[in-house]
Amino acid sequence: MSARKRKGGEAPEPTKKARTEEDPQPQSAPQKEMVGGTGVFPGPKVHIASWNLNGIRAWVKKPSVLDYALRDDLDVLCFNETKLQDKDVAGFRKQFAKYPYQYWSCSHAKLGYSGTAVLAKTQPVSVTYGVGKRKHDQEGRSVAVEFDTFYVVATYIPNAGQKLERLDYRTREWDLDFRAFLKSLESTGKGVIWLGDLNVVHQDLDIHNIKGKEKNAGCTPQERQSFTQTLAEGFTDSFRALNPTLRKFSWFSAKNPRAKSENQGWRLDYIVVSNALMQRVQESLIFDQVQGSDHHPVELVLAAQ
C-alpha cells in the first residue's frame, strides 16, 4: 500500500525522532528459532510467491484465490498485511494445511494491523521473527525463513503515511536497520530472497504516471533513493533485471474503477535477490490477472541448486 488511504489501511503513528549515533534506540536480538529441517527442496525448481492480502479474512472468501495459493508447484507462499491477531492464526493454519511448515507474525503494537507469514512445503532450518529492534518488531512486519542455500524474507514495509508523517521513520530508521539485517543474513554465507509489499515506486517505469506524485508515500525522492541504496549493497530487483522495459504493475487503486482496465497501476510488490543468487533466477513474475486483493501476487522461479 502506498500513500493512498484505503479502508482498513495503515493509520499514522506518533512522530518519532530519527536515529542518530548520539541517540541510539533500544535493541534486542532477532527472535531466531531452530526448526530442525535441512531446507533442501526436492525438485529442480523452487517457486516462491508473495501476496499482499489487505486482510486475510476478506481475501480468503474471494473466488479463485485458493486456486493460486494452493498450487501444487508452489513451494513457499508469503503473505503481507494479514491483519490477524495471534488468537486467529490457528484457524487459518488449517485452511493452508497443504503447507505443513507455517510461520506467522502478528502486530502487537496495534491489533488487526499489518502482519506477515511464510508458508512452506519443505521444512526449513530456522525462522527469525523481526529484525532485532523493538521499535520495528512490534508491528509484525518481517519473517525470515532459512533454507539450505538461501533465506526467504517476507516483509510488509512501513508506509510513509498520507501526510508523510512516518517518512523519516521509514527512510532514516526502518530502512537502515532492515538493510543491516539483510546483510547479517548474507554474512552466514547464504543468499537472500527478500519479497513483499515494499511500498516504493523505484523507477518511473514502475508507475503509470509519476507526474504530480512526488509527495505521495512510496513516490518520494527519499524513499526511492533509499531503495537504490539498499540495492547498491549487493541486491537485485529481479523483475526489473529480467524485464528492463516492461511496464507491469502489482497494485491498482480500488477507488478508481478504470484503473485496471486502463493499466493505471503501481509496482509496489518486489522480489529482491542477493546478486550471488541471480544466476539461479529463471523467472520473476507479476500475476496481474489473479484477483483477490488490491494487490496481485508476485512469484520467483529459482533453480534449486
Establish if 17 belongs to a structural domain: no
Alpha-carbon span 68 to 46, nearest angstrom:
16
**pLDDT above 90 as % of the chain:** 88
Contact 194, 155 (CB under 8 A): yes
Contact 143, 116 (CB under 8 A): yes
Radius of gyration of the chain (CA): 18
pTM of the predicted model over 0.85? yes
Establish if 21 belongs to a structural domain: no
Q: What is the DSSP string of 96-140?
A: TTTSSEEEEE--SSSTTS--EEEEESS--SEEEES-S-HHHHTT-
pLDDT at 13: 43
Measured CA to CA in angstroms, residue 57 lies from 104, 155, 172, 210 at distances of 15, 19, 33, 33
User: Quick check: 117 pLDDT over 70?
Assistant: yes
Q: Could you count the other beta carbons within 10 Å of the beta carbon of residue 106?
A: 21
Confidence band of 1 (pLDDT split at 50, 70, 90): low
Q: Could you count the other beta carbons within 10 Å of the beta carbon of residue 35?
A: 15
How many domains does the structure of the chain reveal? 1
pLDDT, one tens digit per residue, over 66-105 is 999 999 999 999 999 999 999 999 999 999 999 999 999 9
53 contact partners, CB below 8 Å, separation of at least 6:
59, 79, 80, 81, 82, 83, 292, 293, 295
- Strand ranges (DSSP E) for 157-268? 191-197, 235-237, 251-252, 265-266
Establish if 5 belongs to a structural domain: no
173, exposed or middle or buried, with CB in 10 Å at 0-12, 13-18, 19+?
A: buried
Alpha-carbon span 294 to 280, nearest angstrom:
30
Q: In this structure, what C-alpha cell is assigned to residue 43?
A: 525438485
DSSP 4: S
- Residue 44 dihedral angles phi and psi, to the nearest 5°: -75, -20
User: Quick check: 52 pLDDT over 50?
Assistant: yes
Residues catalogued as catalytic: 156, 197
152, exposed or middle or buried, with CB in 10 Å at 0-12, 13-18, 19+?
A: buried
Distance of CA 227 to the CA centre of its chain: 13
Give CA torsion, residues 251, 297, 164, 208, to 10 deg.
-30
pLDDT, one tens digit per residue, over 235-291 is 999 999 999 999 999 999 988 889 999 999 999 999 999 999 999 999 999 999 999
pLDDT at 14: 37
Establish if 4 belongs to a structural domain: no
Establish if 81 belongs to a structural domain: yes
Contact 77, 93 (CB under 8 A): no
pLDDT at 29: 66
- Strand ranges (DSSP E) for 11-61? 31-34, 45-52
Establish if 7 belongs to a structural domain: no
DSSP 225: H
Alpha helices in the chain (DSSP H): 56-59, 65-69, 89-95, 134-137, 167-168, 175-186, 221-231, 238-242
CATH code, domain carrying 293: 3.60.10.10
**In terms of residue numbers, what domain contains 176?**
31-303
Establish if 169 belongs to a structural domain: yes
pLDDT, one tens digit per residue, over 161-210 is 999 999 999 999 999 999 999 999 999 999 999 999 999 999 999 999 99
